[in-house]
Structure 1
Amino acid sequence: MAKSSNTALIILAFFAIYVIWGSTYLLNKIAVTELPAYMLASIRFVSAGLLIFGICKILGISVKISAKQLKNSFIAGFLFLTFGNGVFVWGLKFVDSGFAALEVAAMPLIVLILMRVVDGKKIQPMSIVGVILGIIGIYLLVSQKQIVQKEETLLGMIIIFFCVLGWSAGSLFVSKAKLPESYLVNTAYQMVTAGLSLFVVSLVVGEQWSWPTAWSGRVQFSMTMLIVFGSIVAFSAFNYLLKTVSPEKVATSSYVNPVIALILGWYILDEQITTQSIWAAVILLTGVYFINTKKKLVLYSRFKGKFYGKKQ
């Protein structure tokens, strides 16, 4: 029963980082059209973090952590949220939300390379196939002249690529770092520390802040959804998965998110979606299967009656 419950929780967590996070590209794009990027991210994460602390209080979960855990929470929050998300939202000013999400699909490749370089982990043949498919899909994306030639698109692409590096490094760090055992407490500290650092960045760059009452209705709705679902639900699920499954499997969310983002961006914001983008999405999703599958390539010799390679 416990194993079944754990499996169900993992499935729900993957749904959160696949589908809910896929919608946050649209929500961020809507909000950043009216709000400064770092102000937006700061309000989102501080609000979400404080709400999670409140949930912990109601549930009777202790929020006390050690100095080392606080330090690691700050580092993780910086890599994921201050840099990985705050700067990413700024990059959304220059590219479509669907295109940005598809560019993030490079993350599984970067994670695998970092695991190889930093940990010396061997890359499995099936994962290599998945990464190759991912690269093909990305190439199909960025080779579209009608998208890449838009003004300031190159700047946006470069900004988002460095954000992907931050998320990839953060994924590896969190999978090994000593952090609060409670995923809610872990998420809360990461969000509050990141939100405060984003507040400092916002002041340094001279962003003009405004009260929520001055925002349009759709921006208020987008911010609410980002705080409740994009931050509290999905990010808690993300931290849970990083401690439960391998980092490269968690990184496959960046393959599914683009499909959701493309559809929503096209349907709601009238963003351009081409036949080539559709093919890119299909190939990227196929890559998800190969990176996620637990099966290995098996060769059977009838003459020797032996298996070369095993199924897991």
Structure 2
Amino acid sequence: MKGSTNTALVIAAFFSIYVIWGSTYLLNKIAVSELPPFMLASIRFITAGILIFILSLMLGKSLAISKKQLLNTVIAGFLFLAFGNGIVVWALKYVDSGFAALQISAQPLVVLLLMRVIDNKKIKAMSIVGVILGVIGIYLLVSQKQITEQENSVLGMVLIFLALLSWASGSLFVGRANLPSNYLVNTGYQMFTGGILLLIASVLFGESWSYPTSWSSPTQYSMILLILFGSIVAFTSFNYLLKTVSPEKVATSTYVNPIIALLLGWYFLNEQITTQSIVAAIVLLTGVYFINTRKQLVIFARFSSRIGRKANQGNSENQPD
């Protein structure tokens, strides 16, 4: 009985990181057509952070963390959410959701190159092939006339590239940083502080805020889905899978998310899927596959194990300075 329950949970978790995360591009695209990008992202993450705090307390988890951990969650929240996600939401004003998802799928390539620059880590032969294919795939993707001729499309591409750099930097940072041992508490602080930073950015950019009651129904539903499923359910599923199955299986979301985003954008928003985009997707995702081989996931596996061990220890280390 327990085995069947675990199997069902694993299937449900994979559905979350495949379909729910893949659908967030569509949901953000719908919402950003009506709402300012930083306002949208700040409401999403502040609300999700508060809900995660409430859930943590209901589960008996302490929210107490050290000053160093608080600073590190602020940095991680900035790299992943305030800058990383906030800039992508902004970019979705200018590019299709499926296109954005494909460009973002190159993140493992950027992480690998940053590791080479920052840590002087040698790039293995398989990864070199992956980098070459990734660069070709990105070129095929962004060089299409149908895309480059769209208003502000180049700005959107540049914004997504900057977000990629931020996410890659965040990935390297969290592998070294002292963060809260419980992943729910850690996520709550990252989302809440990232949301506050986005709120500040929204004020500095002079965005006009509005009450949710004045939003259209599609925007209201999109925001609810982004908060409950995109920010809470999918991330919890991700962490559950890291402790349950092998890292390379979890990494398959890198290949599935852009396909889900492309199909949803095509079906609901009539976004065009060109032959060149399909070829670019195949080449780019093949490159990501070469980078995400088992050998290249050793560091990720060690980091995941470390997080898993800390989560199992509870909050014994989460005492304030």
What is the CA deviation profile of residues 170-197 of structure 1, one whole-angstrom value per residue up to 9, with x for unaligned ones? Answer: 0110111110111111100000001111
Aligned 1:198-209 pairs, distance under 5 A: 198-209=198-209
Deviation (angstroms), 1:18: 4.0
Question: Percent identity among equivalent residues?
Answer: 69
Q: CA deviation at 1:284?
A: 2.9
3-state secondary structure, aligned to 2:121: coil
- Show the 5 A alignment for 1:108-147: 108-147=108-147
Residue pair 2:106, 2:284 contacting (<8 A) in 1 also: no
Distance in 2 (CA, whole Å) between partners of 1:132 and 1:259 is 21
Deviation sequence 1:231-290 (CA, Å, 0-9, x none): 112334556788999999977755432221111101110011111111222223323432
The one-letter code matched in structure 2 to 1:26 is L
Query: Within 2, Cα distance between the matches of 1:203 and 1:247?
Result: 39
Provide the aligned C-alpha RMSD in A. Answer: 3.0
Question: Is the Cα contact below 8 Å between 2:248 and 2:294 reproduced in 1?
Answer: no
CA–CA distance in 1 between the matches of 2:161 and 2:10? 28
Moved more, 273-282 or 126-135: 126-135
**Superposition pairs of residues 158-169 of structure 1, within 5 angstroms:** 158-169=158-169
Contact 1:249–1:292 (Cα < 8 Å) also in 2: no
Offset at residue 221 of structure 1 (A): 0.9
> What pairs with 1:94-109 in structure 2 (closer than 5 Å)?
94-109=94-109
Please, what TM-score do these two structures have when normalized by structure 1? 0.84
Amino acid at match of 1:201: A
Partner Cα separation in structure 2 for residue 61 and residue 237 of structure 1: 18
CA contact (8 A) 1:38 1:199 kept: yes
Counterpart contact for 1:140–1:277, Cα < 8 Å? yes
In 1, Cα distance between the equivalents of 2:199 and 2:294?
Answer: 43
Structure 2 CA distance for aligned equivalents of residues 106 and 182 of structure 1: 29
C-alpha spacing 1:247/1:136, structure 2 compared with 1 (3 Å): farther
Name whichever of 134-143 and 94-103 sits farther off. 134-143
Which moved further from structure 2: 135-144 or 229-238?
229-238
Any idea what SS the aligned residue of 1:192 has? helix
CA contact (8 A) 1:187 1:236 kept: no
Q: CA deviation at 1:293?
A: 2.7
Deviates more, 1:184-193 or 1:109-118: 109-118
- One-letter code of the match for 2:224? T
User: Counterpart in 1 of 2:217?
Assistant: 217
- The answer to whether residue 211 in structure 2 is matched with residue 195 in structure 1 is no
The residue number in structure 2 matching 1:289 is: 289
Shift of 1:137: 1.8
- Would you say the 8 A contact 1:112–1:248 is kept in 2? no
Cα distance change on mapping 1:14 and 1:68 into 2, 3 Å: farther
Please give the TM-score of this superposition, normalised by the length of structure 2: 0.82
2:250 counterpart of 1:257: no
Partner of residue 303, structure 1: none
Report the counterpart of residue 46 of structure 1 in structure 2. 46
- 1:88 aligned partner: 88
* 3-state DSSP of counterpart to 1:273: coil
Mapped partners of 1:51, 1:161: distance in 2: 31
Q: 2:217 and 2:113 mapped to 1: Cα distance?
A: 43
In the other structure, the counterpart of 2:56 is 56
> Which runs of structure 2 are paired with 1:232-251 in the superposition (5 Å)?
232-237=232-237
CA distance in 1 between partners of 2:189 and 2:81 (Å): 12
CA distance in 2, matches of 1:9, 1:170: 28
Residue 73 of structure 1 aligns with which residue? 73
**SS of the counterpart of 2:175?**
helix
Contact 1:175/1:247, CA 8 A, preserved across alignment = no
- Residue in structure 2 matched with residue 299 of structure 1 by the alignment: none
- Structure 2 CA distance for partners of 1:250 and 1:85, relative to 1, 3 Å: farther
Asked if 2 retains the 8 angstrom alpha-carbon contact of 1:98 and 1:265, the reply is: yes
Structure-2 residue corresponding to 1:310: none
Measure the CA separation in 2 of the matches of 1:262 and 1:49: 29
